[in-house]
Amino acid sequence: MREIDASQITDVIRETVIEINYHLDQSLFQLIQQAKDKEHSEVASSILDDILENAKIADTNQAPLCQDTGVVVVFLEIGQDVHINGNLTDAINQGVKDGYEKGYLRKSMVNHPFNRQNTGDNTPAIIHTKLVSDDKIKLKIAAKGGGSENMSVVKMLTPADGIEGVKQLVLDTVFNAGGKPCPPIIVGLGLGGNFEKSALLAKEALLRELDDSNPDPTLKQLEQDLLKEINALGVGPMGVGGETTCLAVKVNAHAMHIASLPVAINIQCHSSRHKEVII
């Protein structure tokens, strides 16, 4: 049995939430640069330039990429041969509290759907936990903004809707969202499971590497087709028109009931802030 002190988790969360809010991932920076180089619209190209310049300023000045520094979402994989000394949930929330204070990050969490009193420290985090067979803890840590999250959708399709029904739902969702999720976007698509599982699949899809693809040939093709078709919608960066609406589409899937085809679409803005850490 491996012993891990809860304070280690607090330390990781504290430093990671600051890092991901200040520094755009280099692979994402390069993907936006490539999109700019291919963009024919002068206005769209100018906005992509602004996005890249914003990332440089944030990196140099140690400042947030965006005023919306997000809800902290943590996907945990905990080894069965690990014993955590201390309360895990408290350790994560302490890390969020410390990081958002130390990094001068905006606190966006409110305590109630209707009272809406700010909790003052950006807690509680959203935590998803899975047990695995090893002696490590893997943390996938994300800061998810409200603008793109608000444009996300869960829809219970029927098996008869099939792949074309899924495509149409994604295209309609992205088109109707327009500039609200701050495109160019990344689309996480969760297929199957049930109502809540599809949403988790979509959320975790956003944490995949930008250059990977689903190993299933049908789903890989769906990722490629949707990327092309979304960019043909003409929404463009920040909704001003152009060929760069979407940077990547990631599809995750799970087995499901014979009568169901759950579909979740989780939209991510161009500041895709996440990191994986193993303790």
pLDDT of residue 26: 96
Q: How confident is the model at residue 96 (pLDDT cuts 50, 70, 90)?
A: very high
Q: What is the domain partition of the chain in residue ranges?
A: 2-22+65-144, 147-272
Average pLDDT over residues 117-129: 98
pLDDT of residue 116: 98
pLDDT digit string, tens, across residues 134-166: 999 999 999 999 999 999 999 999 999 999 999
pLDDT of residue 37: 96
pLDDT of residue 180: 98
pLDDT of residue 122: 98
Whole-number percent of the chain with pLDDT over 90: 100
Whole-number percent of the chain with pLDDT over 70: 100
pLDDT of residue 66: 97
Average pLDDT over residues 191-197: 98
pLDDT digit string, tens, across residues 172-193: 999 999 999 999 999 999 999 9
3-class SS string, the chain: CEEEEHHHHHHHHHHHHHHHHHCCCHHHHHHHHHHHHHCCCHHHHHHHHHHHHHHHHHHHHCCCCCCCCCEEEEEEEEECCEEEECCHHHHHHHHHHHHHHHCCCCCCCECCCCCCCECCCCCCCEEEEEEECCCCEEEEEEEECHHHHCCCEEEEECHHHHHHHHHHHHHHHHHHHCCCCCCCEEEEEEEEECHHHHHHHHHHHCCCCCCCCCCCHHHHHHHHHHHHHHHCCCCCHHHCCCCCCEEEEEEEEEEECCCCEEEEEEEECCCCEEEEEEC
Mean pLDDT, the chain, as a whole number?
A: 98
Average pLDDT over residues 263-272: 97
Q: How confident is the model at residue 241 (pLDDT cuts 50, 70, 90)?
A: very high
Q: How confident is the model at residue 68 (pLDDT cuts 50, 70, 90)?
A: very high
pLDDT of residue 204: 98
pLDDT of residue 46: 97
